[in-house]
Amino acid sequence: MSKTQALKTLFESSELHITPCCWDALSASLIEQAGFPLAFMSGFGVSATRLGQPDAGLISYAEMVDQARNIVSATSIPVIGDGDTGYGNALNVKRTVQGYANAGMACIMIEDQVAPKRCGHTKGKHVVEREEAFMRIRAAVHARNEGADILILARTDARAEHGLDEAIERARAFREIGADMTFLEAPRSVDEMRRYCSEVEGPKMANMLEGGLTPFLQPAQLQDLGYTISTYPFTGLMSMIKAQQEALSQMRRGIFPEPAMTFSDLQKAVGFDIYYASEERYKY
């Protein structure tokens, strides 16, 4: 079974799938080591770790697809990739979808924000008109139907600027066009989440951000509402940043506490055990 087929099977199940977000090869590998069946390549995380810049449309298609290749090469589980706005017109969208498929991504997310886009829970975001939003998803679906081995996750940010009704209408249209899954970003209440899940058919994604605009619900609650997967773009990233800030602060003061893990565990986490096994196989 290909990664795309494996992800489609997960989409079609009635169980909610908790989906941690990754930003590089190591974070993706750690997600797989922890036993999760899929991961999500976060544009927020990639922009932060690769550029040291906020998720405000600063990172390019070439940088994102390069990061996608590195992530896919480090994992055997399916990964969903953030494809932002598709980086241009319909032909750019098709090229973006094809590029993510060639990189090995099992699914790509395309959204309806005005370029340059930004994190869906920050100020100043705007969406394109319906016609352009539909064009992007139509182009993505065409790329898939023309042979790109990848699923299409269609995202709308229209709730912030035009209200929930418009966002739901866009999500419905995305499904009619042929998107495999929809994502209504930043609903403001459980009632809004319930409306989306009841009024839009097909698989749906919830985005759980600590401190974000959407209520942070437990997995059982999300499953009861009707979500298929729940992503967590900040959980691992915040843990990494906070741990490193604390370690550097102590080092700056000349304090070197007990290591957070043994050197043996560190070697295992980055794959030395697998490397040594392969090295032994070809030793003679």
**What pLDDT, on a 0 to 100 scale, did the predictor assign at position 117?**
83
Provide the sign of the torsion angle of the four alpha carbons 206, 211, 213, 219, taken in this order: positive
Place of tokens 């893990």: 261
* Confidence at residue 120, expressed as pLDDT on a 0 to 100 scale: 66
Q: How would you write the pLDDT of the chain (284 residues) with one tens digit per residue?
A: 899 999 999 998 889 999 999 999 999 999 999 999 999 999 999 999 999 999 888 999 999 999 999 999 999 999 999 999 999 999 999 999 999 999 999 999 999 999 878 776 777 789 999 999 999 999 999 999 999 999 999 999 999 999 999 999 999 999 999 999 999 999 999 999 999 999 999 999 999 999 889 999 999 999 999 999 999 999 999 999 999 999 999 999 999 988 889 999 999 999 999 999 988 888 87
Task: Tell me what pLDDT residue 257 has.
Answer: 80
**Strands 79-82 and 107-111, sheet pairing:** parallel
CB 42 within 8 A of CB 251: no
Give the CA dihedral 278, 50, 152, 156, nearest 10 degrees: 150
**Model confidence pTM above 0.85:** yes
Question: Which run of H or of E encompasses 162?
Answer: helix 158-162
Please give the radius of gyration of the chain, using alpha carbons only, rounded to the nearest integer.
Answer: 19
